[in-house]
């Protein structure tokens, strides 16, 4: 990997939105009133989304949420002022206000290094790097940050679309400065995708798919992130009324467990979570409640993803078009400050407008009689950064797939702790061929998965298992992610569990077996012998 800096090159001469060909020497008009209305929608959408999904954050990983969700009420906005999904990007806004819209990599990095809030993954390592003198863009490069493809900048990039209405080049310039602190490659492209959707939403009121396509136009077509989101769009057209089919397709094509925490179903890989944002927007079909619900049901980072999806959609709709249920409690908390910032709801909107107007002028636009004349910029990808192709050298799974195949070639280990005690063993516990797994962390199950056709004449799935440490565990089996069987295992000797699968015989299905501790914080080990259809 030799390139460390992203260069923004001159944009192409023309592009097409719908049937309209636009010349970049032309301008588009946007009233100040409409900008403020959409800006308020964008920020409130994020606030709604993060509080809609915060109860489900990383509670369902690698498995969609199919049970009923709690009803959201406007009082939930009380919780929004302590959400890192919001206050981190607001500190970026403060840095821009302090240093100006031409803020440098070093100024942005040092401002981030001075922050006091807790951070995780790419953000944490990026800040530590800057504090050690490794400045952006190197602070986010995989050479120094093994979280480079994580979701961090994707979560925080909303700001850069909100303050650059239709100005994709300006979005990328600012996004590069801040996004390079903690991310690189797909992690950086993730932010351009989200911010690009916001930038376009100031001129598109109701065509969600067009907003997604413009967001994709802001990142290189050869990037794995873009390919993943394009797969969402393709599958949506094949299954326009079944989001779960698209979820399954993305899960089994792109969920490779080559992230910063291999062996753990928790996945903060940017493209997987970005796909969930796109699934929610497409299948929500412009309905905010539906968009929130579907994005949350996709699981994983289930507060960040609905925050991004709702932010984009509410930017399209505008604050004034949102139903009262979404904003009726806002006046009661509009003067509350977001922690670690100096912004309240009211001052946040004012700051966003001030910075956006500076950027419009810088880009060659003008402001006359409360009307913005915004130069047309083409949504064009930056030069391609090399993909991080050697992740497996760093992120090795707890049990290599070739080892699992020696036990049973039809099953995969999706979630398991890295340990010398796990793996495939011969002559273990009086059995010739044994898979031993254990949950990766508290609250996250160990999980194995089968994805293939169930034999035509199969009546049951026979599972040999035991609890060798005399620590009981709950075994839950799902078919197509719906629970169909549960049993507590507390035998140190082998037992055989028969699970009826006759109704699914002859067709392809996903079968997952989850292992949970029965007693809180207990360290459990589950052993599997033969798993066969009979």
What does the pLDDT look like over 59-99, one tens digit per residue? 999 999 999 999 999 999 999 999 999 999 999 999 999 99
In a domain, 385, yes or no: no
* Nearest residue to 489 via CA among 446, 458, 451, 449: 446
- 164 vs 145: CA distance, rounded Å: 28
Q: Kindly report whether the global pTM for this prediction surpasses the value 0.85.
A: yes
357 and 405 assigned to the same domain: no
206 and 143 assigned to the same domain: yes
Query: What is residue 405's predicted lDDT score, i.e. its pLDDT?
Result: 95
In a domain, 17, yes or no: no
In a domain, 292, yes or no: yes
Q: Which residues contact 66 (CB under 8 A, 6 or more apart)?
A: 297, 481, 482
In a domain, 226, yes or no: yes
End-to-end C-alpha distance for the chain, whole angstroms: 51
434 and 364 assigned to the same domain: no
136 and 202 assigned to the same domain: yes
| CA distances from residue 398 to 8, 142, 439, 517, 521 in whole angstroms, order as listed | 40, 21, 11, 19, 21
Q: Which residues contact 19 (CB under 8 A, 6 or more apart)?
A: none
367 and 429 assigned to the same domain: no
82 and 118 assigned to the same domain: yes
Tokens, residue 19: 């049937």
Tokens, residue 312: 């984009």
Task: Assign 22 to helix, strand or coil.
Answer: strand
236 and 315 assigned to the same domain: yes
**Across the strands, what pairs with 479?**
482, 511
Ranges in the chain, pLDDT < 50: 1-22, 24
- 242 vs 333: CA distance, rounded Å: 38
365 and 407 assigned to the same domain: no
In a domain, 386, yes or no: no
In a domain, 204, yes or no: yes
How many structural domains is the chain composed of? 2
Burial class (CB in 10 A: 0-12, 13-18, 19+), 288: buried
Work out whether strand 431-437 and strand 526-533 pair parallel, antiparallel, or are unpaired: antiparallel
Residues in the chain: 534
Q: What is the CATH number of the domain that holds 129?
A: 1.10.4080.10
Tokens, residue 457: 């004449």
Q: Find the helix or strand (DSSP H, E) in which 246 lies.
A: helix 243-254
Q: Which domain holds residue 487?
A: 397-533
- 239 vs 242: CA distance, rounded Å: 5
Q: Residue 166 in contact with residue 203, Cβ under 8 Å? A: yes
Q: What is the pLDDT of residues 276-299, one digit of tens each?
A: 999 999 999 999 999 999 999 999
Query: What is residue 520's predicted lDDT score, i.e. its pLDDT?
Result: 77
In a domain, 4, yes or no: no
- 106 vs 134: CA distance, rounded Å: 10
222 and 320 assigned to the same domain: yes
In a domain, 10, yes or no: no
120 and 229 assigned to the same domain: yes
418 and 361 assigned to the same domain: no
Query: What is residue 2's predicted lDDT score, i.e. its pLDDT?
Result: 32
Query: What is residue 318's predicted lDDT score, i.e. its pLDDT?
Result: 98
């Amino acid at each position: 990997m030799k390139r460390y800096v992203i260069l923004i090159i001159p944009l192409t001469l023309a592009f097409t939105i719908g049937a309209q060909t636009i010349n970049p020497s032309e301008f588009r008009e946007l009233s100040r009133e409409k900008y403020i209305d959409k800006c308020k929608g964008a920020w409130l959408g994020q606030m709604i989304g993060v509080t809609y999904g915060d109860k489900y954050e990383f509670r369902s990983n690698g498995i969609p949420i199919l049970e009923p969700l709690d009803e959201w009420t406007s009082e939930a906005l009380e919780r929004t002022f302590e959400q890192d999904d919001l206050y981190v990007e607001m500190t970026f806004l403060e840095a821009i206000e302090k240093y100006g819209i031409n803020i440098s990599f070093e100024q942005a990095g040092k401002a981030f290094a001075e922050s006091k809030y807790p951070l995780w993954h790419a953000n944490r390592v990026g800040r530590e790097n800057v504090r050690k003198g490794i400045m952006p863009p190197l602070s986010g490069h995989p050479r120094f940050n093994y979280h480079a493809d994580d979701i961090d900048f994707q979560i925080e990039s909303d700001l850069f679309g909100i303050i650059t209405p239709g100005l994709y080049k300006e979005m990328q310039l600012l996004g590069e400065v801040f996004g390079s602190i903690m991310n690189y490659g797909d992690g950086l492209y993730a932010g351009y995708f989200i911010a690009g959707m916001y930038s376009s939403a100031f001129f598109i009121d109701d065509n969600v798919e067009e907003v997604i396509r413009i967001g994709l136009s802001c990142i290189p077509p050869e990037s794995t992130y873009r390919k993943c989101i394009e797969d969402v769009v393709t599958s949506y057209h094949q299954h326009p009324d079944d989001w779960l089919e698209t979820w399954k397709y993305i899960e089994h094509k792109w969920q490779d467990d080559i992230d910063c925490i291999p062996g753990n179903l928790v996945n903060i890989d940017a493209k997987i979570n970005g796909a969930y944002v796109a699934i929610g927007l497409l299948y929500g079909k412009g309905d905010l409640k539906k968009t929130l619900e579907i994005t949350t049901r996709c699981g994983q980072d289930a507060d960040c993803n609905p925050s991004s999806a709702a932010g984009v959609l509410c930017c399209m709709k505008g604050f004034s078009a949102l139903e009262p249920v979404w904003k009726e409690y806002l006046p009661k908390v509009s003067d509350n400050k977001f922690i670690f910032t100096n912004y309240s709801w009211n001052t946040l909107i004012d700051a966003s407008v001030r910075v956006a107007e500076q950027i419009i002028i810088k880009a060659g636009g003008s402001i006359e009689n409360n009307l913005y004349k915004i130069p047309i910029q083409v949504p064009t990808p930056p030069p391609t950064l090399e993909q991080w192709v050697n992740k497996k050298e760093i992120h090795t799974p707890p049990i290599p797939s070739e080892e699992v195949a020696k036990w049973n070639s039809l099953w995969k280990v999706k979630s398991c702790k890295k340990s010398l005690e796990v793996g495939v063993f011969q002559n273990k516990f009086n059995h010739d061929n044994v898979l031993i797994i254990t949950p990766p962390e508290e609250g996250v199950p160990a999980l194995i998965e089968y994805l293939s056709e169930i034999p035509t004449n199969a009546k049951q799935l026979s599972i040999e298992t035991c609890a060798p440490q005399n620590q009981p565990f709950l075994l839950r089996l799902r078919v197509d992610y719906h629970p169909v069987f549960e049993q507590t295992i507390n035998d140190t000797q082998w037992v055989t569990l028969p699970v009826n699968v006759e109704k699914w015989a002859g067709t392809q299905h996903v079968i997952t077996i989850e292992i949970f501790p029965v007693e809180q914080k207990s360290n459990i080990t589950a052993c599997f012998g033969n798993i066969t259809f009979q």
